Homo-oligomer: A and B are copies of this chain.
Amino acid sequence: MKVPVVRKILEANDRIAEMNKALFREKKVAVINLMSSPGAGKTTLLERTIDALSSKIKLGVIEGDIQTSADAERIAKHGVPVVQINTDGACHLDGNMIRDALTAIDIDPLDLLIVENVGNLVCPAEFSVGEDHKVMILSVAEGDDKPAKYPLMFKESTVLLVNKIDLLPYTDCDVNKIRADAKTINPKLIIFEVSCRTGQGLEDWYAWLTKQVHG
């Protein structure tokens, strides 16, 4: 009983995501779907990225959280347009939520829209929102066994940011194991080792992101 229901929901979502994608193309807005476990550093990455790039790129943000507008408030302080989606219990964003959010943010002037998903290493990977690329963050504090145990997000992502590398001396995490296991799942995966706290390694991420902006 359950599997067909899930398939129908996913198919319906894919149709709406395609409509979103067509709209983003028409408006020439590049769209990134940013995903990770809770607390891996999505919002801090966004704050850093906005500060580094917003003089060159017109950036906007859609924030997804189950509750609170804390993240949108953090982003708003950095001077870019932002809208908060509260999923009210739902564990991921879907195409419809993004479509609704587009009534509250003007994407016409934007070069780049970053969608920060609900903190969850599992469900968001199944639902396209119409993005050009999925980008994921894994914190070294989560451990090096995560690619093998949660393969779908690693498979679906174009970029993996291995974050909090400033904590490496205090953990048992082996970044080479993360690299090897993630590449086994997704040989094309682009991997950056960064610390959103110290700024280490973020230049390569900024360069990649800048390249995604359409002409």
Contact = CB atoms under 8 A, between A and B. Distances in A.
Interface of A: 2, 5, 9, 37-40, 65-68, 70-71, 89, 91, 118-123, 139, 141-143, 145-146, 148-152, 164, 166-167, 170-172, 197
Number of copies: 2
B37 A39 contact: yes
A37 B149 CA distance: 13
Task: Determine which residue in A40, A68, A139, A141 has the highest number of CB atoms from chain B within 10 A of its CB, and name it.
Answer: A141
A38 B137 CA distance: 12
B121 A38 contact: yes
A37 to B, nearest CB: 5
Contacts of A65: 149
Which of A39, A148, A149: most chain B Cβ within 10 A? A39
A146 B39 contact: yes
A150 to B, nearest CB: 6
